[in-house]
Chain A
C-alpha cells in the first residue's frame, strides 16, 4: 500500500478541484450578476457537476492512498461519489423549479450546494480521523446554512437551529471518541489503528470497556448523519422546515455519505474478529437498526404533512440499510450499495412530485393530494410507483433492494432481524398507501386539471423508468458488486 505525497496526489484529486473551482466560480458569477439571472448560476453549477462526473469516471479508482494517507481513492469511494453527484445535479434542477427560494439569494445557494458536495466527496474517501472530522464538519456546517436558507420563514430558521444544536453536540461527542481512540493507539490512520487494536486485543492488554465507550461516542456522530435512533430527533423537524430540494438532498446524499463514512471507518478499524469478539458492536448495531426502522415507520403512521412523512420514511430506510452494515460480510455491503441506487431514484422521484405539487397547489399535506388522479393522471401514477417502490412491492426497484438486504441478513442467520424488517415493510405499506388512496379514491372540491410543463414531465420519466427497470437490470447489480473492492487497505 503506497501513499502518495501531496504533489503526486493532485492528478487523482482533479474531481474535487473541479468542484472547488465551480463553487468559487458560482460565487463570482453571482457577484457579477448582482443577484439577477440566478438561473445562470444554476446552469454553471450543472456544468460543474457534469464536469466532475466525467473527471470522477476518467480518474477512476486506483486503490491508492492520497495526501500522505489522508484519503483513499477506491471503487467504493467512486461509487458513492457518483451517487452524490447525481443527487446534487437533481437538487440543482429541483431548485431551479422550486418557487419557495428567494430568487435573489439563489446564487450563493448553488455555491453552497457545490461546497457541500465537495465535503461529501472527502467524507466518502477519508481514512484518517482528522480528515473524517474535517469533512464531516464541512458537510454539516454547509447543510445547516442550506436548511435555514429561507430566511423569512420561521420554520426554516427553526429547522436550522435544531439541526445545528443536535449536529454540534453529536460531532463534538464523536470528536471526543476520536481523541480517546487516538490516545489508545497513538495514531490517526484508521488502518494503523486497526493494527494496534488487534495487537492489543491478542496480547490481552486492551480494555474492552474503553473500546466500547469509544465506539459508542463515534456512533453518536455518525449515527446522527445516518439519522439512526437515538440520534434521529433532528431529522423530521429539519426535513419539514428546510426547502424541499434540500430535504431531498439531505435524505439521499447526506445519508449516503454518512453510510460510506460509517462503513469505511468501522470496517477498517473495528472489524478484526478478536475486537468484535470482546466488544460486540455488530449486535449493538443490529438492535439500533431494528429500533430505527420500527420507530421511523410507527412515527410516520399519523403524519399529515407529506414532507414529514417522507422524513420518517427516510429514517426507516436508514434502519433497513443499517441491517446490511451489521453483518460484517461483503454481501451486506453489496446489498447496501445496490439499495442506494434504487433509493436514489425512488426517493428523489417522490420528492420531485412533492416539489411539483407544492409549486402548483401550495400544499404539503396529504389532503392536497386528493383526487390528483383525475387532475394530473401521469403525476399521480408516478407518485404511486415511487411510493410502492419505497414500500418494496415487486416488481419495482425497492423490492429488489430489500430482497438483497434480507437475503444477506438471512444468510448470516440473523432471523429475528429479518422478521422485524419484514414486519416493518408491512407497516410502511399503510402510510404510503394513505397517499395513494388520497390520490386515487378520495374526491375533492377542486376538479380542474393541473397542467405541468413538458420539461417537468420528462424529468419525472427519468425517475420513473429506473424505478421500474433497475431490478431486472443485471448490470446494476454487477456494478454494486464491483464497487465493493477492498474497503480495508
Chain B
C-alpha cells in the first residue's frame, strides 16, 4: 500500500500524539537524569566535605597531642636559639666564656659561612630548612680528659647545637721540649652549628 497526502489528515492526530509523547518523554528523562546527576554530584561533594572534616579533626587531635608532647621540648630549642637564624655572637661569647674557664691549655676556633645541611643518613626535615655553620676547633691539651670536659661544657653552656662530626687526637712529638713541658696532646674537632628555619618564616 502506498501512502498519499490525503492520508495525512487521518494520521495527523496519532503523529502529533507520538511526537508529543517522544518530546515529553525526552524532557522527562532529561530532567530526571539531570536531577540524578546533580544529586550524585552533591553526594560526591558531601563525601569530599566529610573526608576533609575528618582529616581536619584528625589533624586537630594530632596537633593537640603534638602540643602536649613536643611543646616543652620545642620551647627549649627556641631558648637555645636553634630555631631561626644563626646567633654567631652568642656562640663567640660562649666560647670566650669557656676560654676563661681554662678547660684546655689553649683552643682556637674557625666558623665558616652558613650552608644547607644534608645529614647522612637523610632526615625528613618537614617544613624546615636545616642550616649548618661549620666550626673547626683546635686544642692544646694536657690529656684527653680536657677535650671531653670542653665538649661537655660547650654543649651545656653555649646556646646552640654544635654537631660534632669527628675529632683527631695526636700525641705531641715535642713533649720533651723544656719550653712546653705541659702540652701532651694536640686535638682537632670538626663539626658545625645547626639551626632550623621554617620555610614559612621570612627568609
- A and B co-occur in one complex: no
